[in-house]
Amino acid sequence: MPQPSACPVCAMGNTYPDGDNFVCADCGHEWPQVAAAPSDEAGAEVRDANGNLLQDGDSVVLVKDLKVKGSSLTLKMGTKVRNIRVVGGDHDIEGKVDGSPMMLKAMYVKKS
């Protein structure tokens, strides 16, 4: 079994394996134990709710109120997420909302 490394989001070393993922006990971020092949993500296009192509460094705005899983926090429609990073997996983009790292689905954002 691979050994967990430091969390890629918060860089803390308090991580543990859980099924097929590693989990950070400090920030709750999960990432796969086995890295995806680069050919899977290369050429994958991520588009927002309006069909615009999203790229690393773009700013987006939420088009719907979203409840944050595992928290009582709700992200309101119109909240701006700056300097996003396009990632593979179930949640297409990663960015910071009010200083907290969040993984979002591209279908709930529009390019600003």
pLDDT (tens digit per residue) in 17-62: 888 888 888 888 888 887 655 544 445 789 999 999 999 999 999 9
Location of each CATH 2.20.25 domain in the chain = 1-35
Could you tell me what percent of the chain has a pLDDT over 70?
88
pLDDT greater at residue 56 or residue 12: 56
Per-residue model confidence (pLDDT) at position 29: 87
Q: Distance between CA atoms of 91 and 60, rounded to whole angstroms?
A: 15
Residues of the chain with CATH 2.30.30.40: 40-111
C-alpha distances (whole Å) from 104 to each of 3, 4, 76 are 27, 24, 13
Please give the pLDDT value at position 43. 54
The rounded distance, in Å, linking the Cα atoms of 27 and 86 is 20
What's the CATH code, domain 40-111?
A: 2.30.30.40
Q: Domain 1-35, what fold? A: N-terminal domain of TfIIb (2.20.25)
